[in-house]
Amino acid sequence: MQELKVTVEIREENEWFVAVCEEYNLSVKGLTIEDALTELQRKLHEYLEDEQLSVNVSITFMIKMPV
């Protein structure tokens, strides 16, 4: 299994947490940080499948959040 490390920026917009992955130009939102990260992981797997890249990948998030 390959490991894929991606940088994720998390910010709060109104009532939502937005997770942005610039490496793959993806962004999602969720009511909690965990919801946003779960949705981003799902979207990344879909993207990798669509691009016919290895779906046997473990995704590791490198998270950036404003302090």
Instruction: Report pLDDT digits (tens) over 2-23.
Output: 788 999 999 999 999 999 999 9
Amino acid of residue 26? L
* Whole-number Å distance between alpha carbons of 45 and 38: 11
Amino acid of residue 4? L
Instruction: Report pLDDT digits (tens) over 24-57.
Output: 999 999 999 999 999 999 999 898 887 766 557 7
* Whole-number Å distance between alpha carbons of 13 and 50: 29
| DSSP classification of residue 55 | S
Task: Spell out the residues 6+ positions from residue 55 whose beta carbon is closer than 8 angstroms to its own.
Answer: 45, 48, 49
pLDDT of residue 12: 95
Q: For residue 18, what is the domain's CATH number?
A: 3.30.160.620
Residue pair 30/38 in contact (Cβ under 8 Å)? The answer is yes
Q: How many domains does the chain have?
A: 1
Entry pTM: 0.84
